[in-house]
């Protein structure tokens, strides 16, 4: 039998492959045309999946319920242009209005949005993204449109809800409140993430173009559960006061960073916490904002504020407050290292007792007290510090609390001949400002050390579901006699008639203060930097009945001033001033009947009807003008006389003698922009009364006193 030639076999294979290829091509064409809808539907069945639905995140609240952080719902709009039940007549009659509303809500052109609808319809898209980030108010308005109200099965429109995290009060406690993000949450957002997150839900979704997922129905397979609201201990008024005072001082002295913490003494509740860091833009503009929580996360050498722990340890070990040390002429050497007091150029303090050592912040006195008490038994000193809690974290529920570094082993290689005397003045150890404040707050709280606390309760729907009670770290940090001595020497630091380092800062104040200044050189990798310091002040007020404790730390000033008494203490004073002025607990109501007083209360010039209402309400007589809108007030012993104020029709009003509110009303109605300084009554105005109003005159300056 003859064999087929090789060329014949090749042709046979070629013809066979040609017919196979034509068959495959024909099948592809058939699937793409005749069976297109069938296979697309089959593919969509396999592209559905149960997807996780994130619940609404809980809110973070101030102690009065004000929102510190909240989740604001926003919506993305997708359109299924091949929706089987599409009502095209309703679509064409409504689409222009729909595009206008979407454009207004998203700051996009209505024409551009209309093009997205047209393009999706022409291409047959089943999940075209029409608009992003639609606010909730606009979403509610859109839902009322007749076409949208038809629902997704007749309109093809699907709204996808997302949550945007907002901080309504901006930079106030921004770093403490924190940032909510998938990676590296910070602050309360991180520490309380489990409570804030809620429970995830499940929903059947379909994959659409662009690898995006679109819900198949509005129903959930498993309903998501909203997160709990976290109620903090922060007081917005005190937070604003503390932040403003800190920023003012940072700007004044061009400092690198600063922090202030205000704590309620008895509970340990943190009422305010501000952390500001200097940032300079390329054009030289300097701004301060929160980018790190120095109060909790920055452990530094505290300097003289640590002398409270130093002398407390000495007294607990047996040294008496009246025991003396000889500071000589303000300069001494320990193992070859020189130590000076701030007044060494004036001859030093000489021989002084322990109370005076603290009052004048004598480095030598503190070092000698520790040397005399603990040189033979240095481990006893470290044990005393451990007992005070200054060697461990406070345990505040907040991620990122830095661990204090306090040497506890005298046999270790890093323990040198000067370690004991250096630790005595707040060097060779580190603490965070919060850890420093915790000890000072314990003194204010009669020796009971409280754990600092930022959160006091959890809520759901406005109802409290869990309360966090104040936590006692140590019910008694020292003996009653030592406690009394600590209070005495802290008060002496701030007495205006004494020799304390903060005596100038609290002159004439209606409240008393107990505290301690601190000034520490800034350490770098190559030792201590020349001319760079960190200033601090820690204390409490009122000294006789403590309600608030506070610590202030300001680092690396460029103004030439760096002492704690001139840099940090003024911030403490400003915070205390405003708390005292605005907290009703510091004041008693006067129940006297003003009508029985010998003389009328003084009043500012201003609106007649307001003055008349006040005099009528307190039962006092006023006579004179009864028809004029604006009056001058002359106060006598028993009667107030009201005289009409005349204003030129086209001239500058005379607002001298008025309060700011009335002055603003008159001047702004005259078309002027008003700038002012001071408080109280208008004493002078930069443009003379009666001066004709001219178009080029737009601003007037007022001085109040």
Indicate the average pLDDT of the chain.
Answer: 86
SS3 26: helix
Longest dimension (CA), the chain: 147
**Residue among 624, 630, 629, 633 at smallest CA distance from 604:** 633
Cβ partners under 8 Å of residue 251, min gap 6: 286, 288
Task: Provide, rounded to the nearest whole percent, the portion of the chain with pLDDT above 70.
Answer: 90
pLDDT in tens, 153-168: 888 898 888 878 888 8
What pLDDT score was predicted for residue 40?
A: 60
What pLDDT score was predicted for residue 441?
A: 98
**Contact indicator for 49, 213 with CB cutoff of 8 Å:** yes
Distance CA 395, CA 404 (A): 12
User: Could you tell me the CA-to-CA distances from 686 to 631, 660, 680 in Å, in that order?
Assistant: 22, 15, 17
Task: Provide, rounded to the nearest whole percent, the portion of the chain with pLDDT above 90.
Answer: 51
pLDDT in tens, 386-408: 999 999 999 999 999 999 999 99
pLDDT in tens, 46-86: 466 766 667 778 999 999 999 898 888 888 999 988 888 89
195-199, 242-246, 310-314, 390-394: range with lowest mean pLDDT: 195-199
Distance CA 420, CA 371 (A): 7
**Is pLDDT above 70 for 244?**
yes
Q: How confident is the model at residue 218 (pLDDT cuts 50, 70, 90)?
A: low
**Residue among 549, 450, 424 at smallest CA distance from 490:** 549
Return the sign of the alpha-carbon dihedral for residues 286, 292, 293, 294.
Answer: negative
CA 87 to chain centre: 51
108-122, 253-267, 334-348, 643-657: range with lowest mean pLDDT: 643-657
pLDDT in tens, 501-541: 999 999 989 999 999 999 999 988 888 888 899 999 999 99
Task: Give the tokens for residue 593.
Answer: 């009947």
Helices and strands, counts by H and E, the chain:
23, 31
| Beta-bridge partner residues of 53 | 201
User: Could you tell me the CA-to-CA distances from 52 to 31, 49, 80, 598 in Å, in that order?
Assistant: 34, 10, 22, 76
**Contact indicator for 91, 81 with CB cutoff of 8 Å:** no
14-28, 158-172, 554-568: range with lowest mean pLDDT: 14-28
10-24, 219-233, 256-270, 542-556: range with lowest mean pLDDT: 10-24
pLDDT in tens, 451-469: 999 999 999 988 999 999 9
**Backbone φ/ψ region at 415: left (φ over 0), alpha (ψ -120 to 50), beta:** beta
> What does residue 677 show for φ and ψ, rounded to 5 degrees?
-140, 155
DSSP code per residue over 607-675: EHHHHHHHHHHTT-EEEE-SS-SEEEEEE-SSEEEEEEPP--TTB----TTBBHHHHHHHHHHTT-EEE
Peptide bond into 503 cis (omega under 30): no
| Beta-bridge partner residues of 639 | 621
Structural domains of the chain, ranges and CATH numbers in brackets:
50-170+201-228 (3.90.1310), 247-584 (3.40.710.10), 595-704 (no CATH)
User: Could you tell me the CA-to-CA distances from 646 to 606, 632, 635, 641, 643 in Å, in that order?
Assistant: 12, 10, 19, 16, 10
* Burial of residue 286 (number of CB atoms within 10 Å: 0-12, 13-18, 19+): exposed
Q: How many CA atoms lie within 13 A of 285 on its CB side?
A: 3
In the chain, helix, strand, coil percent, each to 5? 35, 30, 35
Which residue is listed with tokens 């929102």?
Answer: 67
**Contact indicator for 100, 44 with CB cutoff of 8 Å:** no
CA angle 270, 66, 583 (to 5 degrees): 55
Distance CA 350, CA 266 (A): 39
DSSP assignment, residue 431?
B
**Contact indicator for 604, 658 with CB cutoff of 8 Å:** yes
CA angle 39, 41, 43 (to 5 degrees): 70
Helix/strand/coil (H/E/C) assignment for every residue in 305-355: HHHHHHHHHHHHCCCCCCCEEECCCCEEEECCEEEECCCHHHCCCCEEEHH
What pLDDT score was predicted for residue 303?
A: 95
Of how many residues is the chain composed?
Answer: 705
**Contact indicator for 83, 152 with CB cutoff of 8 Å:** yes
Instruction: Please give the radius of gyration of the chain, using alpha carbons only, rounded to the nearest integer.
Output: 37
CA angle 599, 604, 605 (to 5 degrees): 120
What pLDDT score was predicted for residue 217?
A: 63
User: Could you tell me the CA-to-CA distances from 605 to 16, 113, 534, 635, 668 in Å, in that order?
Assistant: 110, 58, 49, 11, 17
* Burial of residue 421 (number of CB atoms within 10 Å: 0-12, 13-18, 19+): buried
What pLDDT score was predicted for residue 462?
A: 87
**Residue among 358, 345, 363, 304 at smallest CA distance from 535:** 304
Q: Which residue has the higher pLDDT, 272 or 83?
A: 272
CA 569 to chain centre: 21
**Is pLDDT above 70 for 288?**
yes
What pLDDT score was predicted for residue 45?
A: 47
Distance CA 651, CA 692 (A): 4
Contacts of 59-62 spanning 24+ positions with Cβ under 8 A: 59/229, 59/230, 60/177, 60/188, 60/189, 60/192, 60/196, 60/229, 60/230, 60/232, 61/229, 61/230, 61/231, 61/232, 61/459, 62/232, 62/234, 62/235, 62/236, 62/239
Distance CA 89, CA 312 (A): 85
Cβ partners under 8 Å of residue 646, min gap 6: none
pLDDT in tens, 415-446: 999 999 999 999 999 999 999 999 999 999 99
38-52, 657-671, 680-694: range with lowest mean pLDDT: 38-52
Distance CA 679, CA 412 (A): 60
Characterize the bridge pairing of strands 351-353 and 331-334.
unpaired
Name the helix (H) or strand (E) containing 104: helix 88-106
pLDDT in tens, 583-629: 888 877 656 554 455 456 677 777 777 777 777 777 777 777 667 77
SS3 273: strand
Task: Give the tokens for residue 126.
Answer: 């089943």
Characterize the bridge pairing of strands 60-61 and 229-232.
parallel
What pLDDT score was predicted for residue 603?
A: 72
Characterize the bridge pairing of strands 514-524 and 212-215.
unpaired
């Amino acid at each position: 039998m003859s064999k087929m030639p090789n060329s014949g076999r090749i042709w046979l294979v070629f013809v066979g492959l040609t017919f196979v290829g034509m068959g495959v091509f024909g099948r592809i064409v058939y699937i793409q045309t005749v069976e297109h809808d069938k296979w697309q539907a089959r593919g969509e069945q396999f592209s559905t999946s149960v997807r996780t639905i994130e619940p609404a995140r809980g809110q973070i609240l101030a102690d009065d319920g004000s929102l510190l952080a909240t989740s604001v719902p926003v919506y993305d709009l997708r359109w299924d242009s091949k929706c089987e039940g599409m009502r095209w007549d309703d679509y064409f009659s409504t689409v222009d209005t729909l595009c206008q509303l979407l454009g207004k809500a998203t700051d996009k052109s209505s024409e551009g949005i209309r093009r997205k609808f047209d393009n999706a319809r022409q291409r047959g898209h089943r999940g075209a993204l029409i608009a992003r980030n639609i606010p909730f108010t606009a979403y509610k308005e859109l839902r009322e449109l007749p076409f949208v109200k038809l629902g997704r099965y007749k309109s093809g429109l699907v709204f996808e809800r997302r949550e945007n995290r907002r901080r309504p009060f901006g930079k106030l406690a921004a770093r403490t409140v924190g940032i909510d993000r998938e990676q590296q949450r910070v602050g309360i957002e991180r520490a309380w993430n489990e409570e804030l997150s809620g429970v995830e839900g499940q929903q059947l979704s379909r994959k659409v173009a662009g690898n995006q997922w679109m819900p198949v129905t509005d129903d959930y397979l498993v309903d998501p559960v909203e997160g709990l609201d976290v109620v903090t201990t922060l007081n917005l008024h005190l937070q604003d006061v503390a932040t403003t005072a800190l920023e003012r001082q940072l700007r004044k002295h061009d400092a690198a960073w600063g922090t202030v913490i205000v704590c309620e003494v008895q509970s340990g509740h943190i009422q305010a916490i501000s952390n500001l860091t200097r940032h300079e833009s390329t054009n030289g503009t300097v701004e301060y904002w929160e980018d790190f929580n120095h109060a909790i996360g920055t452990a530094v050498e505290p300097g003289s504020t640590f002398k409270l722990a130093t002398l407390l340890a000495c007294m607990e070990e047996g040294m008496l407050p009246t025991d003396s040390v000889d500071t000589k002429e303000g300069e001494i050497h320990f193992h070859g290292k020189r130590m000076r007091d701030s007044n060494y150029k004036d001859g030093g303090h000489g021989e002084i007792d322990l109370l005076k050592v603290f009052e004048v912040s004598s480095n030598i006195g503190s070092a000698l007290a520790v040397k005399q008490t603990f040189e033979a038994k240095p481990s006893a000193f470290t044990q005393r510090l451990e007992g005070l809690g200054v060697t461990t974290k406070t345990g505040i529920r907040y991620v990122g609390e830095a661990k204090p570094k306090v040497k506890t082993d005298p046999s270790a290689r890093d323990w040198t001949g000067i370690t004991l005397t250096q630790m005595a003045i707040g060097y060779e150890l580190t603490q965070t400002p919060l850890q420093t404040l915790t000890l000072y707050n314990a003194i204010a709280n009669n020796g009971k050390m409280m754990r600092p606390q930022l959160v006091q309760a959890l809520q759901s729907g406005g109802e409290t579901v869990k309360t966090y009670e104040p936590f006692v770290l140590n019910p008694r940090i020292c003996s009653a006699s030592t406690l009394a001595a600590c209070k005495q020497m802290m008060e002496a630091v701030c007495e205006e008639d004494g020799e304390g380092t903060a005596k100038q800062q609290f002159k004439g104040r209606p409240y008393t203060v107990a505290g301690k200044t601190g000034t520490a050189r800034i350490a770098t990798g190559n030792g201590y930097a020349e001319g760079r310091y960190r200033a601090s002040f820690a204390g409490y007020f009122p000294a006789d009945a403590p309600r608030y404790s506070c610590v202030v730390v300001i680092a690396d000033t460029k103004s030439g001033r760096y002492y704690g008494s001139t840099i940090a203490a003024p911030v403490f004073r400003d915070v205390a001033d405003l708390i005292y002025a605005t907290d009703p607990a510091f004041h008693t109501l006067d129940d006297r009947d003003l009508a029985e007083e010998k003389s009328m209360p003084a009043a500012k010039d201003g609106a007649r009807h307001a003055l008349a209402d006040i005099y009528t309400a307190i039962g006092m007589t006023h006579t004179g003008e009864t028809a004029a809108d604006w009056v001058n007030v002359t106060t006598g012993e028993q009667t107030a006389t009201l005289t009409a104020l005349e204003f030129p029709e086209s001239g500058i009003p005379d607002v001298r003698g008025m309060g700011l509110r009335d002055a603003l009303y008159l001047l702004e109605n005259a078309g002027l922009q008003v700038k002012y300084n001071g408080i109280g009554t208008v004493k002078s105005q930069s443009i003379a009364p009666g001066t004709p109003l001219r178009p080029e005159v737009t601003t007037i300056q007022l001085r109040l006193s």
